[in-house]
Structure formats: structure tokens, C-alpha cells
Amino acid sequence: MKRTLREIRLLPPLAISRLGDSPEPVNNYNVEVDPKDPLGFRKITSATAILVNQQTGEVSDICEGLEITFKDPQGRVRPVAPFIELWGRFGDDDEWIHLTRDDIDVDNLHWRVRLGNVKAFRRTGDVKDRIIADSGWFTDHDYRAMDGKCENFLAGKVLPFGHVQFIKPTEQFPHIRFRFTPAEGKVYGSNWFVKKADGTYQSANSADQPVDGANYIQHDLNIDDVVYNSGDGGGKWAGYTESTGAALTIPGAIYAGQSGPNGWVSSGYLDDECDGVIEVELRAKEKLSAFSRIGAGPPAYAPDSFPIRTVYDELEQALLGWEIAPNDYTDQELQKESEEIIRRAFETIRLMSTTTMNGNQVGPAPDIASTMVRQDRADAERAFEPIMAETIVDNLAVRALHQNIFASLSSGAPPWFLSVIRRFDEIGDLSTEGRRKMPAMMRNADGRYLTLTRRQREKIRHAANRLTSTTETKEKKR
């Protein structure tokens, strides 16, 4: 007799897929920190991989030791196609377990996936520009195309967001899983020919495409298909123009286009990124339901490195608050978490031209890149000058600085340490000292100098306090 399920949950609650045009997804891997070289490159090693037969929907093998490559032999990018697991709790038990076909009647599981790409809608405000794929409820194990539909698409056209599949549990592989395989990363458009900002067509370039007359127009070779109706009865995404305004995205005018007399004119391009929800219902005597979220973005191009401040940090702070309670972490966990923040900072600057980002003059021009230095001048009319002394910001020197910080944190942080980590309410401090606080040279979600989440900063504060007498009074924490 099967036990009574009390609650079900899809894990992970937010999964990230990554676009790619290879039919073979990336095999699973681990990234391992070498304890003898804690700031060395993380080692990529093979991890337990699940191979799926798309035709049957069954797992064909769960295996170890597969080769890890991010492109296939044809040079195509392998997509990252995450599995979503169905977990449950029985009776009064607090323990969550990954459910198998022995725990529930699998035929009673109903799935639905809804994905959206509403980038054009965010700009035009036209609800007919929303691209939505809805699988409807299903129970089978088909490799199901998630075709994005939009009222402003041409008749019969869809924008493929990838595929979903309810993996069929078998006697050999009984666990309940679902998989999302993202799209290929194609660009879609509104016209097979290139239009100029004034709406007329671009003549064919005779140098590249010899023609015998001036009546030829350029094909748009950037797009895979024309899906958007920019003609009669269609939408305004192609030719949509932005200039300035408080309601626009920040940064604004971030779409493929060209400059026109009234602002930035959209070329009408669309992509196959998306985000949405996977829902499941167990329709038994008592109905149980759960959902999780999914997104599709570009590959992580340095898979052995990680960002300083991540979506996880935001979610963790939203869930647990910015303050750290006494039982939140053991001392060892706190130390590990703090070291991980510094490690991620190190991994970011390691792949960054720190001299450029500092605003050093490289070559004859003083302002050569999109830096915080440029932004300080553009947004606040602050003096244009490098953030740090120009002589100390070579990449290897900045790495050494972080190595020292890491070592300090491991053995007891010095009293000044916390004061040089920027607080979130110090973003307006563009004084020489204010701009030099950490994380330095980088931009945050508000377009200002990067800060950690308050909870990240608290982790470092607690880790430092554990080892030294350094304190930051409650009154000073805002």
C-alpha cells in the first residue's frame, strides 16, 4: 500500500538552461576547488550524467566519466538542458525524498509548461507583442516542442523556445523527472530585407554583391526566419523608436537597430530566450500541485568561474532576510561562505582588463571603454580620473591584492577590512575614497557601483568578528 503524500515540490525551484544548437546537451560536470590552491582555477571534472532517449522518453543510461566539452565536433554549442525532479513528503515526516514510480501512480501526473518572451512588449506596450508558448496539460512522454505564439506574428509562424519532456520512469530508472531543452539561439526578424531608419530598403552593396543595377536590395542574412508581421494588421516592433523617458528600460534602447532622426530605430529582431513556469498536478484522491521556474539564457563562457553577486544571493536574502541569525550557519559554514564571496570576486577580476576598467589611459585616447569612470562623468559630471592609482591596477597586481584579502579572511580579518566593502547606501559617494571601495570598478543593478547584497556583507562581517574584535555597531548598519 502506498503511503499518503502530504506535499510535492519541483526541484530546483529556479533552473537555468543555456542556449545551443548542438543536438547533444552538455554532459554533467563538477567544478572543484583545490584546497591546496583555493584561488586557483576550479577543476572541471565529469559528474553523473543522465542520457535520455528522446523517442521513448526513457532514461537510457545514468553514467559517470563522460567527456566534458562545451561544443560538439561540428563546432556547435552544446545546450545546457536541466532536469527538474519531483520530490515529496509523506505523512508527518519532514524528510523530502525524490519520488519514484513506486511512490505514486505516475499516470496521475499532469504537466503544463508556459514560457514567455515579452521583450518587444516591454518596449512597445502592445499586448499583441507578447510571445507565449503554452503546452497545455499533458501526461505523455513526448519530446514536446514549445512554440511561442504571438498575435502579431505572420499566419502560421511560431518562435521555437525549445522542448519539454516528462521522462518516463522505468523499473531500471524509476525516479520522476522532467526536462527542458532550450532553443538553438537563433535570431528571428520582421523582414527578409534590410530596411534603413527612414523605412526605405538598403540597396545591395555592389562591392560585396555585384549587381547590374541599382534596384537590388540587401537580404537580411542575420535572421533565421521572418515571423513578425510588420505590415498591415501587424505590430510596430520593426521601426519602434526610443529616445529618452523615465518609463523606458534602463539602460535604454537595448535592441538591434540603427540611429534615426527621433532616436534608436528597432530592426524588429527577436530571440529565443525565454522564462516561465513548469507546473505539475498529482490528480489522485487529493490533488497536490507544485510549480518551478525556468529560464533560457546564453552559455556561461567561463564555466570554471562564477559571478560575485548572483541570483541566488538575491533569493537567499529575500528568503532569510539581510541579518544573520545565530543558528543560520556554523562557524565553518560562515568561513566557507565568506571565502566563496572573495573567490568569486577574484574569479571575476581575473578575466577582466583591470587597467582598462580603472580608467587608465591606454594609447592616445583617455576614454576608451564603457567604465564606471566614464559613467561618473556622464551621469554626475564628476571629474574624469582613474579610480585607483594607475600604477597598481595591472591584472596580476589586483589578483595579488585579492589573494592577500583571502589569506586575511582565513586567518582573522584586519580591523579596516569591513570598512572598505561598500555598503548599499554608499553608492552616491563618488569621492576618491568612496570609489575605491570593494567591489571596485564594476556596475550594479542600479547602474551604480557594485555592492554586495546586505546579507553577503553580513556574512563577511560575522566571519571577521568571529576571528577579531572588529565590530560594526547596530546603529551604523542601516
Partner 1 sequence: MSLKPANMTARQLLHRSVGNPPSTLPDSAISNCFPGLEFDFRNVWRRIFVGLIMHEADNYVLKAEISDYKHLEGCRLLRIDGHDATTIVIGPRQSGGPNVELATPANPDAAWFMEWSNSLTRVLHKAGQDVECVFTASPSEVQRRPNYAETQTAMLKIRRFFEPGTPVIARELVEPGDLTQSLCSPWQNDYRECACYYWASSRPDYVNVAPDGDGLSAGQNWMQRDRKPDTPVEERKYLPDDRTSDVFLSYDDLFREWQRVLRFIVAGYDRE
Q: Which of residues 228-287 bind partner 1 (CB under 8 A)?
A: 245-247, 249-251, 254-256, 269-271, 273-277
Q: Is residue 159 within a helix (H) or strand (E), and if so which, with residue range?
A: strand 159-167
Q: Given the complex with partner 1, which of 48 and 415 has the nearer CB atom? A: 48
Q: Given the complex with partner 1, which of 189 and 417 has the nearer CB atom? A: 189
Q: Given the complex with partner 1, which of 110 and 382 has the nearer CB atom? A: 382
Does the protein bind partner 1 through residue 176 (CB under 8 A)? no
Which residues pair with residue 44 across a beta bridge? Answer: 31
When binding is defined by CB under 8 A, the residue of 90, 193, 201, 291 that contacts partner 1 is: 291
- The Cα 178–Cα 165 span in angstroms is 6
Q: Given the complex with partner 1, which of 190 and 405 has the nearer CB atom? A: 190
Does the protein bind partner 1 through residue 135 (CB under 8 A)? no
Please, what is the Cα angle at 226 between 221 and 232, to 5 degrees?
130
Does the protein bind partner 1 through residue 39 (CB under 8 A)? no
Amino acid at position 152, single letter: N
Binding flags for partner 1, 447-476, as an x/- string (CB under 8 A): xx-xx-xxx---------------------
Considering only residues 11-30, where is the footprint of partner 1 by CB under 8 A? 11-18, 20-21, 26, 28-30
Binding flags for partner 1, 191-220, as an x/- string (CB under 8 A): ------------------------------
Residue 40, CA distances (Å) to 43, 69, 142, 410 in order:
9, 21, 44, 16
Q: Given the complex with partner 1, which of 2 and 425 has the nearer CB atom? A: 425
Q: Given the complex with partner 1, which of 253 and 411 has the nearer CB atom? A: 253
Q: Candidates 151-159, 197-205, 311-319, 467-475: pick the segment binding partner 1 (CB under 8 A).
A: 311-319
Q: Given the complex with partner 1, which of 1 and 246 has the nearer CB atom? A: 246
Q: Where do the H-state alpha helices sit in 6-155?
A: 119-124
Return the half-sphere exposure (C-beta side, CA atoms, 13 A cut-off) of residue 358: 23
Q: Given the complex with partner 1, which of 391 and 414 has the nearer CB atom? A: 391
Beta carbons of 81 and 181 less than 8 angstroms apart = yes
Which residues lie below 8 Å from residue 47, measured CB to CB, with a gap of 6+? 28, 29, 30, 64
C-alpha 209 chain-centroid distance: 39
Q: Candidates 209-217, 227-235, 412-420, 430-438: pick the segment binding partner 1 (CB under 8 A).
A: 430-438
Whether omega before 82 lies within 30 degrees of 0, making that bond cis, reads no
Q: Which of 319, 315, 271 is nearest to 296 (CA)?
A: 271
Q: How many residues bind partner 1 (CB under 8 A)?
A: 157
Considering only residues 42-81, where is the footprint of partner 1 by CB under 8 A? 44, 47-50, 62, 70-71, 75-77, 80
Cα dihedral sign, 116-117-123-124? negative
Amino acid at position 200, single letter: T
What's the order of all strands across the beta sheet hosting 257-260?
241-242, 263-266, 257-260
Q: How far is the CB of 212 from partner 1 (least distance, A)?
A: 25
Beta carbons of 80 and 17 less than 8 angstroms apart = yes
Q: Which of 449, 447, 444 is nearest to 427 (CA)?
A: 449
Q: Candidates 102-110, 197-205, 405-413, 445-453: pick the segment binding partner 1 (CB under 8 A).
A: 445-453
Q: How far is the CB of 30 from partner 1 (least distance, A)?
A: 7
Considering only residues 313-372, where is the footprint of partner 1 by CB under 8 A? 313-322, 325, 327-328, 330, 344, 347-354, 356-357, 362-363, 368-370
When binding is defined by CB under 8 A, the residue of 147, 151, 304, 472 that contacts partner 1 is: 304
Considering only residues 145-164, where is the footprint of partner 1 by CB under 8 A? none
Considering only residues 369-408, where is the footprint of partner 1 by CB under 8 A? 369-370, 376, 379-385, 394-396
Helices 331-350 and 454-467, axial angle in degrees (round to 10): 120
Q: Candidates 101-109, 203-211, 408-416, 434-442: pick the segment binding partner 1 (CB under 8 A).
A: 434-442
Per-residue cell: 94:
519532514
Does the protein bind partner 1 through residue 126 (CB under 8 A)? no
- The Cα 423–Cα 160 span in angstroms is 43
- The Cα 109–Cα 27 span in angstroms is 28
Q: How many residues does the chain have?
A: 478
Q: Given the complex with partner 1, which of 75 and 213 has the nearer CB atom? A: 75
